[in-house]
A and B are shown apart, each in its own frame.
Chain A
Amino acid sequence: MAVGRLVTREVGIEVAGREATTAVAPFVLVAVLLAGLAFGPAPQILAAVAPGTIWLVTLLAAAPLARGVAAAEQDEGCWDLLRLLVSPTQLLAGKLAAMWLHLLITWALTAALVAVVFPAPFPLAAIVAGPLGALGLAAVTVAFGTLLAAGRRRSGLLSVLLLPSGLPVLVAGTAVGLPGSAGMPWLALLVAYDVLMVVATWAVFPVLLEE
């Protein structure tokens, strides 16, 4: 199946270049450490800000990941070839799956660090929220990453376009992680966000490949 081969290809690129890993892992480590210092040693405060820190760091890490959506292909000059060989939907499925994986790893790394460093309880709903939030965020990241792949002023535009679009994930992911919060409505909100973002990205992706 072509999509499976595209995902294998994305993983292969990552293993060979380690672009995303080198961009994201140090950022996550430093961000969680600095957040812990910023919010102070009081354990109640740290526990209260833990869910928000996890999703804030994950959301901010989406910006460097978006810059890498088509970077390897453009460096090697094979982006046009790839666009010719596979259909836009297959290419999107491959990119989306790879980005989902990237964001899931980012989220899991952040959550594990926060759970250790902040000490914070981890409700079950918050673990379900991880993959759900990462999926919708991955769709937006792929869309804006492809859109701004060739722009010069892209980093400012990326933050203005991508980060506010991920706001529902930040809000719902944080709310789910707070102790004593109602999990279901927020998970439903995440599902709604996923559906809308994946469908919207699928609809506009062929246009992004026209260049």
Chain B
Amino acid sequence: MNRLASPRARLAVVGVALAGVLGTVAVSGLSDSLVYYRTPSEVQAQPTHGRVRLGGMVESGSVVRVGATLRFLLTDGAHDVPVAFAGRTTGIFREGQGAVVEGTLDTAGVFHADTLLVKHSNEYVDGRGKTYHPPTPAGAAAP
């Protein structure tokens, strides 16, 4: 007991516990089971009927505006999901960029979104030189 009585020993134990716990969480595969959004492949493999967040890249040439509804394909490189979004687009929504939509998948496989968020890749491209890197699929965004 006496050996653990000094403030130095107690703070050292806190440091060891912090390093140990964070190290364990970092090394173990826990991060794989925590998902912020699903990819088009996942959604098509097991369609869920509740509310889903779907993330992917907006496929080039797929964006069509029909009346107030915006239609486009969300892709992860392997599978596409058609998305219908009735609402105002804000932000830098454009083809080839990442996007996260929130809504439900209908029986025909169309995703009806009520929320659209633009997920910009961590690439910053020189606006004068116009060197364009094709963005990586959103599925690879997790390190």
The dominant DSSP class at the A interface is helix
Stretch at the interface among B17-25, B82-90, B121-129: B17-25
Nearest B residue to A203 by beta-carbon distance?
B10
B1-34: CB near A (< 8 Å → 1, else 0) gives 1000101001101100110010011001010011
- State A185–B33 Cα separation when bound (angstroms): 7
Contact of B1 among A89, A188, A189, A203 (CB under 8 A): A89
- State A63–B34 Cα separation when bound (angstroms): 30
- Report whether B21 and A192 are in contact in the complex, using a CB–CB cutoff of 8 Å: yes
Q: In the assembled complex, which residues on chain B have CB atoms less than 8 Å from the CB atom of A13?
A: none
Q: In the assembled complex, which residues on chain B have CB atoms less than 8 Å from the CB atom of A161?
A: none
- Report whether B33 and A202 are in contact in the complex, using a CB–CB cutoff of 8 Å: no
The dominant DSSP class at the B interface is helix
With contact pairs A89-B1, A202-B10, A207-B7 given, residues A196 and B17 touching in the complex (Cβ less than 8 Å)? yes
With contact pairs A192-B24, A192-B25, A203-B11 given, residues A184 and B33 touching in the complex (Cβ less than 8 Å)? yes
Residue A200 at the chain B interface, CB threshold 8 Å: yes
9 pairs of A and B residues whose beta carbons are closest in the complex: A203-B10, A199-B17, A185-B30, A192-B21, A182-B33, A185-B33, A203-B14, A200-B14, A199-B14
User: Chain A interface (Cβ within 8 Å of chain B)?
Assistant: 87, 89, 182, 184-185, 188-189, 192, 195-196, 199-200, 202-204, 206-207
User: Chain B interface (Cβ within 8 Å of chain A)?
Assistant: 1, 5, 7, 10-11, 13-14, 17-18, 21, 24-25, 28, 30, 33-34
